Chain A
């Protein structure tokens, strides 16, 4: 399947700082990428849909000023958690859909575990 990378894999930061997470599609172009958050023992929660060259679409209840998304190219989307607080500690996972085969298969990056102290 298609390869999606994510960086960093783990980050620990102090409360009030901002953290940037990068998501890259390595062997295909992704006009659309998705950002998810997952808390322990829970399923994935879609935060936003990132569209290349345009503004992201946020799910209800997700603060767009808190979670800044930029999709600068067909292979790179970034999520910036601004002024992070302990309640933002979570597993953040990006995903991209590979449409080369004409299907809708969606592949996930390895995730970023954020801990806010």
Chain B
């Protein structure tokens, strides 16, 4: 299986700022991408899915996909301390979700 890469962080942003999380993938055949949020000691929670090139917005979250560059990102606007968690990027390959190692985000009050 091919890889999904994320910066492990930690990424620290002040409250109210925009947090930018990045992910690259190596399988050009991947068509489906997901962002999950995982709080410490909890299971992952799906926050965004994206299937087409461009931006997809849902509340304070915007996912961006660029298949030519094999790049997926997640922007969190107006970051809140409650957004502090590990964010997992995943691509669907051969019917299986392949996860990156996760980026730890810390939002400071």
Give the residue name and chain of the A residue nearest to B32 (CB). Answer: A104
Q: Which residues of B contact A43 (CB under 8 A)?
A: 88, 99-102
Interface contact B92-A104, CB-CB below 8 Å: yes
Give the residue name and chain of the A residue nearest to B31 (CB). Answer: A104
Give the residue name and chain of the B residue nearest to A95 (CB). Answer: B97
A44 at the interface (CB under 8 A from B): yes
- B interface residue numbers (CB < 8 A to A): 32, 34, 36, 42-46, 49, 51, 88, 92, 95-97, 99-102
Which 5 residue pairs spanning A and B have beta carbons closest together? A111-B43, A108-B43, A43-B101, A93-B43, A104-B32
Question: When A and B form their complex, what is the total count of cross-chain residue pairs whose Cβ atoms lie within 8 Å?
Answer: 44
Interface contact B32-A1, CB-CB below 8 Å: no
A-B contacts besides A108-B44, A110-B43, 13 pairs, CB < 8 Å: A32-B95, A34-B97, A42-B101, A43-B100, A43-B101, A44-B99, A46-B97, A49-B95, A93-B43, A105-B34, A105-B46, A106-B34, A108-B45
Chain B nearest Cβ from A72, distance in angstroms:
21
A107 at the interface (CB under 8 A from B): yes
Chain A nearest Cβ from B25, distance in angstroms:
14
Q: Which of A67-113 contact B (CB under 8 A)?
A: 91, 93, 95, 103-111
Q: A43-B88, A44-B88 are in contact. Are A106 and B46 (CB under 8 A)?
A: yes
In Å, the complex CA distance between A32 and B44 comes to: 18
Chain A nearest Cβ from B38, distance in angstroms:
9
In Å, the complex CA distance between A64 and B45 comes to: 28
Chain B nearest Cβ from A56, distance in angstroms:
13
